Amino acid sequence: MLTFKELTIRAMVMGLIIGVFFCILNVIVGLKTGLAFAGTQVTILLGFLGLSATGGYNKFENNIIQASASGAALAMFTIDSAVAAVVIFSGVFPSIYLVIAVSLVAIPLGILFAYSLRDSLLERQNLAFPGGVAIGEVIDALVDTRSRRSLLVFLGMGVGVIIVVLVQWHILPKAVPGLGFGIPTFLGLAVSPMMIGMGFIIRHRSSSLIFAGSLFSTAVWVLSGKEHMQLSQHITNPWVLSVAVFMIITYSLYLIAKSRKIFKDMFSSVQFGEGGRYIRMGQIILLALAVILFIAVPEIRLMPYALIILIPFLLVTILYACWACGETGMTPVTPMGMLGLIIASFFTNKLAGILFAGAVLSAAGAAASTMMNTFRAGTIVKTKPEALLTAQTIGSLLGAVVGSVSIFMLYKAYGFGSEQLPAPLSYSWGVVASALQEGRVPESINLLIGAGASVGALVLAFLNLSAISFGIGMIIPPAYSSLIFIGGLFSYWIQKKYPDKEIQKEKMGEGYALCAGFIAGEGLVLVISAFYTVLAA
């Protein structure tokens, strides 16, 4: 029997209550805007207040609160959009039991396979995971609020809060130069302390590759001759989406070929005593349930041999999501979900089957990267990874049920594609899935361009450069990647200014603390703003 002293009743209860709140909020925000918020920084502060008021603050328990809340908060990521897309394009709400079942399989799958990758990515590859660094630094800083590191975290949070509040109140612009100079805002220079902080933590190598990808993306915009467009329109250009997706997939496959041990770890008996058997058993059971769902349920039925392709692609997606999160601090899993739609379309003409296949891929990838961030925070706080795994899994199971019921209630109250719930991501997924259902390849995917991008990814790999960072730079707003590059330059400057390893380690540690505050402060304001927007609506 596995027991962990960190898993106290008060920590789990607080985490699950907070997680359920953010789960419902994310379903609403996702159906309104296509976005999602983990709410991590708010969770940490609420955990601090709750623990302090009920017997005293304990950083290990706050890490558990954060883990369980994160599991619940993102339990419906992309699944809610897939459900709404089915409703909008077919007029029928899928079975609520099916939605719950898919959610109960997809999210824990990502979480359990993330555990298998933990040693490889955190210890052997030593990836940065800036989101996890921010979580861990803030949780740790709350133990002694007067230490130098704590003061730097709080200073960064204050700067982040003030700047983003000024942006929200339109005192500062969202981006410079922005539309006033005749170009789209997403090509300007964003006002975002969070992006600078992420760039510092991932350092100059990865941040430079992200910036290089954004330069390619900007060149595509210039050559397109379309001055005024939305980011969503720009990303669907085949010279952006096809290049990014094929580079990411090719490099992920290269990583598997080069570091076969990483991929083998996803199936190995994880070594933490008796618990290793439980992890492997859970992975096998969840994969078996996924197979049963997509073969036995008429609404989403695929041809049986489709899973010979989709299951390995699911594992590639999980590996990519975790690697990208560790290397860049971002996990844009939607392109992988889009490719999942294309693969599934070869094996079914059922709209729900195509959409749910893509949603499972995206949801599992997002869950895995969220779990890796929690593990990274645990290395700072010194929390047992098995305790974090247990807490986040429990949170995801509760979130799957609550989130599925919330989607059904919102559908009954407002419908999807309505003024109250426009579901923009659902429309983009639905358009692609409908085209595939009719036997047409979406215009945003060009196989010839993709083949060239794959060659480019292998060239980058030969040069020991990451095509994942380059590809992510293409599909996030260049206004953000420019700031990430600036943050990376700051880390490079410190490394050059302080060649002595001990001094350099001290200065970089102080930089991590300050930048963790930047990330936490901006994240706090964005979540509160999203909550206010939902209430106002």
DSSP string for 403-444: HHHHHHHHHHHH-SSSSS---HHHHHHHHHHHHHHTT---TT
Q: In the prediction, which pLDDT does 184 show?
A: 56
Contact 478, 115 (CB under 8 A): no
Neighbours of 345 (CB within 10 A): 26
For 96, list phi and psi in degrees, rounded to 5: -60, -35
Report the distance separating Cα 472 and Cα 240, nearest Å.
10
Residue (of 210, 254, 317) closest to 464 by Cα position: 254
E-assigned strand segments in 231-338: none
Tell me the three state secondary structure of residue 175: strand
Q: In the prediction, which pLDDT does 397 show?
A: 93
Q: In the prediction, which pLDDT does 274 show?
A: 46
Q: In the prediction, which pLDDT does 97 show?
A: 92
**Would you list the DSSP string of 231-257?**
HHHHHTSHHHHHHHHHHHHHHHHHHHH
**pTM across the whole model:** 0.79
Residue (of 309, 366, 308) closest to 337 by Cα position: 366
Q: In the prediction, which pLDDT does 392 show?
A: 95
Q: In the prediction, which pLDDT does 127 show?
A: 85
- Which tens digit of pLDDT belongs to each residue from 90-147? 888 888 999 999 999 999 999 998 988 888 888 888 888 888 888 888 888 888 777 7
Q: Which two tokens stand for residue 244?
A: 């990014």
Q: In the prediction, which pLDDT does 271 show?
A: 44
Which positions of the chain have pLDDT values less than 70?
Answer: 1-4, 33-39, 177-188, 225-232, 256, 258-277, 332, 418-420, 424-425, 428, 441-442, 527, 530-531, 533-537
Contact 144, 346 (CB under 8 A): no
| Percent of the chain whose pLDDT exceeds 90 | 17
Buried b (16+ CB within 10 A) or exposed e, 406-425: bbbebbeeebbbeeebbbbb
Q: In the prediction, which pLDDT does 378 show?
A: 92
Query: Residue 2: which H helix or E strand, with range?
Result: none
Contact 388, 135 (CB under 8 A): no
Q: Amino acid letter at 2?
A: L
Q: In the prediction, which pLDDT does 21 show?
A: 83
Report the distance separating Cα 450 and Cα 456, nearest Å.
10
Q: In the prediction, which pLDDT does 33 show?
A: 59
Alpha carbon of residue 449 to chain centroid: 26
